[in-house]
Amino acid sequence: MRRVRLEDVAKHAGVSMKTVSNVVHDYPHVSPATREKVQRALDELGYRPNALARRLATGRTGILALAFSDVTIPYFSELARTVSRAAAARGYRLLLEQTDGTLEGEREIVSTREAGLVDGVIFQPTAMSSLEIAQHRQDIPLVLLGEQTAPIGVDHVMIDNVAAASVATEQLIRLGRRRIGFVGHESAGLTATSSVRLMGYQRALESAGIPLDMSLLLPSDAISSRESEVAVARAIDAGLQFDALVCRDDLAAIGALRALQLHDIAVPDAVAVVGWDDVPMASFTYPSLTTIAPAMEQLATTALDLLEERIAGYDGVGRHRVTDFSLVVRESAPDPA
């Protein structure tokens, strides 16, 4: 069953290849008679265009890559879904690239040994520094996501993490909490994400005149529910007193919740908890999680806008866009009565 080519259709309809191509693409200047004749040939032969060839000829593939560490991290699943939808709406398809958060994996993304396959890349780095990105990067349209600062010449979209962390912390302060811990930042090699969130947390405490107590920082060995559960459990066992927790992300919050429950500590009465990301699960934990919700659609749209401009040829300085967030209030840290 040989593939039907444009030429076959052309022969069948008795016109030139280009005319067939014009019909396929709804090019306006084709006479109705020809159009109909060609269309019939198209149908009879069951022609399906070869995407590859078309793309070689036009130079654009219609494929974008979305790269991050791991799709099973709920925030990234959400990101993948949202970007995939938004991309589809613009006629692009999405290549999924996982880096496992390793330097090698991330280098591979940025230095793309093969050209041409992908029109552009949206990339949320974990391990790579801005400097390294600048060094390895090829001349493929690139938009960076996340808290990492971007190299000159590279576009970047993020939410204002410092502000968001402050908002989260303030919610706890409004509840009258004073011994507010921070959970889930890396114990070694703080990521950019954790560090800006910590900064916002500190800032909110300062503004409220609450002195920073270093013992309330509960780092964990890795970004996972497991590790933050361990960290919180250890703190409780060590007799640490606290009445609220700001968590680096919802995964950390979920781990924290579990540690508190295992120790029969009531949430939010004894300890209030806020998370970050508003992952789907945040509604279904018990109690459900108050959390920072990034405006995901807006983020995806903004990133795609920038990327499309790059693809279209914009080659100026890197743009920096800040997208919105909101605090979703649920059971784990309700509004004050």
Partner DNA sequence: CGAGGAAGTTACAGCGCTGTAAACCGGCTG
Partner DNA sequence: CAGCCGGTTTACAGCGCTGTAACTTCCTCG
Residues engaged in binding a copy of itself (CB under 8 A): 1, 3, 48-53, 55-56, 61, 63, 66, 70-72, 74, 77-78, 80-81, 84-85, 88, 93-98, 112-117, 138-139, 225-226, 229, 254-255, 257-258, 261-262, 280-281, 283-286, 288
Q: How far is the CB of 242 from a copy of itself (least distance, A)?
A: 19
221 binds, among DNA, a copy of itself, none (CB under 5 to 8 A by kind): none
In DSSP notation, 275-316 reads EES--GGGGTSSSPPEEEEE-HHHHHHHHHHHHHHHHTT--S
229 binds, among a copy of itself, DNA, none (CB under 5 to 8 A by kind): a copy of itself
- C-beta atoms surrounding 219 within 10 Å: 18
SS3 96: strand
Cβ-based nearer residue to a copy of itself, 188 or 264: 264
Q: How far is the CB of 35 from DNA (least distance, A)?
A: 7
Comparing CA positions, the residue from 197, 175, 186, 219 lying closest to residue 292 is: 197
Distance CA 268, CA 65 (A): 41
Cβ-based nearer residue to DNA, 33 or 337: 33
Backbone angles phi, psi at 73, to 5 degrees: -70, 120
Q: How far is the CB of 280 from a copy of itself (least distance, A)?
A: 6
63 binds, among a copy of itself, DNA, none (CB under 5 to 8 A by kind): a copy of itself
Distance CA 100, CA 95 (A): 16
Name the residue with tokens 């309700």: 334
Cβ-based nearer residue to a copy of itself, 322 or 334: 334
**Contacts to DNA by CB under 7 A:** 3, 5-7, 14-19, 21-22, 24-25, 28-31, 33-35, 47, 49-50, 53-54, 56-59, 116
Amino acid identity of 220? S
